[in-house]
Structure 1
């Protein structure tokens, strides 16, 4: 999971690096990457700058990799474009709002094993136990029980992008086995967030 604060870097590298803390990343997700070697711009990785914004700026349609003929699709040219990437230790699952609500209700039934554990999150993490579920959603959910941790996803795509990696790191640090995330809504402004979550869940 990409670092977005100085503390994230320090957590990974310890004393091997000296870190200057300039505050949290303002954008959060990595940059938009465009391949301009084909005569037409091809979007390799979505980011905060959308394909529509690039089309307006350059006056050309931006193609997606999936729109290229199969024989001309490029091998990975940029970091962060493998199918599986940005993944925390916990398994990430993407669900629409209805499926997420149903899964949370089922999870919190008294007979579900996740509700039988008495360890709190720090104890689980300290002992290396991966149990329970963390949820990141825009839809308000009725969450109760020691086995479920809930966090609210911002309604604004830019805010969600800024918080994405920090949220995955924080939830992963709770020692949960799975992180359930509400699928971002359609729209070009959500493409970068959707891309990172799909790779994290692959």
Structure 2
């Protein structure tokens, strides 16, 4: 990022009925090559005109994003796919009927007019239609598809509120549309439809079970389960690099709940004995860790969708607490729990303890 600080406009909008003047202003910024952060049903996105390679390049600069990490393109109408995809399969049509607008990104063969900055040099393009009134109104006002990764500094926890965007990107982007908190809380599911068998490259708000109910056989990429891509070029946004990480190192502890609790209590006591403050990411039905560290409850273990909604705010809360190390309890990797564990594994950067 250059040393020149931008005067970032902060625009408050009604989530259910976004004001036309505010949306028009933000759309004008996008059409002029600017960057606008906006809410979706998953997290806040950082938008640029997807047809303008120079504008998309500004996203990478503002976020400090690696250039080989492709960006999802957001549309408000299916007709916008005509300028993005070389072809649209029957499976894609089935999924769009079932899940759009919604937290599902599909990977299609890229059209010739898609800037390389969007695809990161791949022959495919990732597209979705967000299920949020502000996001849809903004795309319509801009009159172009909008390329938008999460609106955070690269590698940090994704933003689910406008204040999170301010913390990371104030002075780096042109405007922030504050439409209230995001709902799902983790990014969209990314499904590759260019392979012989549809494959989930990133778990998200649409579960493998829901996709299989529509398409039959759907596989989950091994890197999506492990939380890390060991290939040279990621095939989907958010695959290759450490992501979602708070400032303090995070250790993910997996296994039976009693064994996990015992291990975290043991490790937190050791940290306290050494004068270090431990943060503990836990759930409403877990053990009491209050005597050994700073506790943040992300949601309910039996309702992983509540954990997804609270996960990134919880990780940012540890930044505010200034803890030295974080211990996080694992979840069952089923349904939305698969997406939560994918994010926790990435936040841990390989620091996983199985008990």
TM-score bracket, shorter-length normalisation: 0.7 to 0.9
Quote the residue 1:142 is aligned against. Answer: 288
2:154 is aligned with 1:9: no
Residue in structure 1 matching 2:342, options 187, 195, 198: 195
2:339 is aligned with 1:174: no
State the alpha-carbon separation in 1 of the partners of residues 316 and 204 from structure 2.
20
Q: Cα gap change, 1:76/1:116 in structure 2, threshold over 3 Å: closer, same or farther?
A: closer
**What's the TM-score once normalised by structure 1's chain length?**
0.78
Q: Cα gap change, 1:105/1:180 in structure 2, threshold over 3 Å: closer, same or farther?
A: closer
Give a deviation string over 1:106-130, Cα, whole Å, max 9, x none.
Answer: 3565xx562575xxxxxxxxxxxxx
State the 1:13 CA deviation.
1.8
State the 1:144 CA deviation.
4.0
SS of the aligned residue for 2:332 comes to coil
Residue in structure 2 matching 1:133, options 271, 278, 291: 278
State the alpha-carbon separation in 1 of the partners of residues 322 and 178 from structure 2.
27
Q: Cα gap change, 1:179/1:47 in structure 2, threshold over 3 Å: closer, same or farther?
A: same
State the alpha-carbon separation in 2 of the partners of residues 157 and 82 from structure 1.
24
State the alpha-carbon separation in 1 of the partners of residues 308 and 341 from structure 2.
9
Contact kept? 1:82, 1:199, Cα under 8 Å: no
Residue in structure 2 matching 1:95, options 253, 274, 277: 253
The CA RMSD measured in Å over matched residues stands at 2.4
State the 1:79 CA deviation.
1.4
State the alpha-carbon separation in 1 of the partners of residues 182 and 218 from structure 2.
27
State the aligned residue count: 180
SS of the aligned residue for 1:20 comes to strand
State the alpha-carbon separation in 2 of the partners of residues 116 and 43 from structure 1.
43
2:238 is aligned with 1:80: yes
Give 1:11-30 correspondences, 5 Å limit. Answer: 11-17=167-173, 18-30=175-187
Q: Cα gap change, 1:8/1:113 in structure 2, threshold over 3 Å: closer, same or farther?
A: closer
**Which residues of structure 1 form unaligned runs of 5+?**
68-72, 118-130
State the alpha-carbon separation in 1 of the partners of residues 233 and 170 from structure 2.
34
Residue in structure 1 matching 2:220, options 64, 68, 77: 64
State the 1:62 CA deviation.
0.8
Moved more, 178-187 or 162-171: 178-187
State the 1:137 CA deviation.
1.3
Give a deviation string over 1:56-108, Cα, whole Å, max 9, x none.
Answer: 12x231112239xxxxx894111111252221111111113334422443356
**What's the TM-score once normalised by structure 2's chain length?**
0.46
State the alpha-carbon separation in 1 of the partners of residues 240 and 290 from structure 2.
36
Greater relative contact order (Cα < 8 A, sep 6+)? 1
**Which residues of structure 2 form unaligned runs of 5+?**
1-156, 224-230, 350-355
State the alpha-carbon separation in 1 of the partners of residues 316 and 288 from structure 2.
23
2:227 is aligned with 1:106: no
Contact kept? 1:30, 1:47, Cα under 8 Å: yes
Instruction: Flag the structure with larger Rg.
Output: 2
Q: Cα gap change, 1:63/1:77 in structure 2, threshold over 3 Å: closer, same or farther?
A: same
